[in-house]
Amino acid sequence: MAQLNSMFLNGMHLKQIKNSIFVSNMIKMKRVVSLMFFALLLNSCDDGNLIQEDINFEDVDTQNCTTNNIIYKLKEKEALLLEIPKNYFPSEPSLANTPLSIDINNTNRVVYRFYNGIVATDNICETIPPANPIVTDQWNATAGKIEIFTTAIKTVNNTENSTKISGYNHSIVFKNITFAKSNGTQVYETFPFGNYVTPATPLPFLFDKTVEKCSSSNLIYNYTTSEALTLDIDPNLIVNEVTAVNTPRTGVIGTSKNILKYRLFSGLLTSDYFCATTTPTTPTISQQWDAVAGISGVNGIIEVTTTTDGPNTFKHTIMLKKVTLKKGNNDFLLGDNYLYGDLLTTN
């Protein structure tokens, strides 16, 4: 009997040992699984999509330094910096689906910074930045592309149905950008920086509506000391005969006649510029906008109303209707009715 009790007790002890080993193994397995899960979590945190949410500046306003080529975005203790020459932000819209593509390198730099306090403009643009806050970490872009797509910002005069270009919006996106971090690298296939707006220099259009004509050609012109609006007009539109009421002579803007051009000059402009046999080299033309060819009864229309203005003198009032002026990919509307001016002629 004693022997049976001993065997029973030994069996129980062996079972307890086995259970203890089983529990110990389970604990070890749980630890291994936990470590594997933690490692997987760490790797997931290095995934671009997750971290991109942490450094998303798309809805933050873009600012620029006036003394250098840095444009930037600030968000409390973070800063996203883009150092790029300003000539990459042209006063010219991009062609459809054709953004400007620039390599990220030592000249075109992208930097993401962390600070230990609230960051401000002085921390970015000052030659000697404030001592605080301190940069605690910095990611430097080492590869990728900067894509810039430019569109014109236009203000509309609803009364005249005219438009003016007031600025240019540059939509900036980083493509396949690689950041070098203190603990490795981070790659984004597409990383929107956001929009950057540059102002447009408005065209003066300060004409006094007094039109003159070259005696040796069909060129008529209206000008100030810095700009000119010229029209190589069809001579059939300028006739010394009074037009009937509400029945002006009409023509359309073209490429061989009725050629309308707006020019902005960088020097002093006088009347001597227009009728010379050879176009003078000075003052130099800084901008030229050409009128788009019109369609009869639709747009690009020239109307001339002729009245008398004293003995043997005729006044030709020239109106431009639905005319578009274009330079490169840029264009704007003069409006439904733009008074070019009055030309006086005599018999």
pLDDT digits 0-9 by tens, 157-188: 999 999 999 999 999 999 999 999 988 999 99
Closest CA to 173 of 193, 155, 189: 193
Looking at residue 332, its pLDDT comes to 98
Q: What is the largest CA-CA distance in the chain?
A: 152
Q: How many CB atoms lie within 10 A of CB 187?
A: 14
Write out residues in the chain with pLDDT < 50, as ranges: 1-15, 17-18, 21-23, 27, 30, 32-53
Q: How far apart are CA 165 and CA 154, in angstroms?
A: 4
Query: Which residue in this structure is represented by tokens 């046999």?
Result: 277
- Write the CA distances from 128 to 57, 123, 205, integer angstroms: 25, 8, 44
Q: Which two tokens stand for residue 182?
A: 């203190």
Q: Could you report the per-residue pLDDT of 86-122, keeping only the tens digit for each?
A: 999 999 999 999 999 999 999 999 999 999 999 999 9
Distance of CA 23 to the CA centre of its chain: 66
Instruction: Say what percent of the chain tops pLDDT 90.
Output: 81
Q: How far apart are CA 90 and CA 41, in angstroms?
A: 45
Looking at residue 132, its pLDDT comes to 95
Looking at residue 20, its pLDDT comes to 53
Q: How far apart are CA 290 and CA 230, in angstroms?
A: 10
Looking at residue 56, its pLDDT comes to 83
Strand partners, 321: 301
Q: How far apart are CA 95 and CA 145, in angstroms?
A: 18
Q: Could you report the per-residue pLDDT of 27-58, keeping only the tens digit for each?
A: 455 454 444 444 444 444 444 333 444 678 98
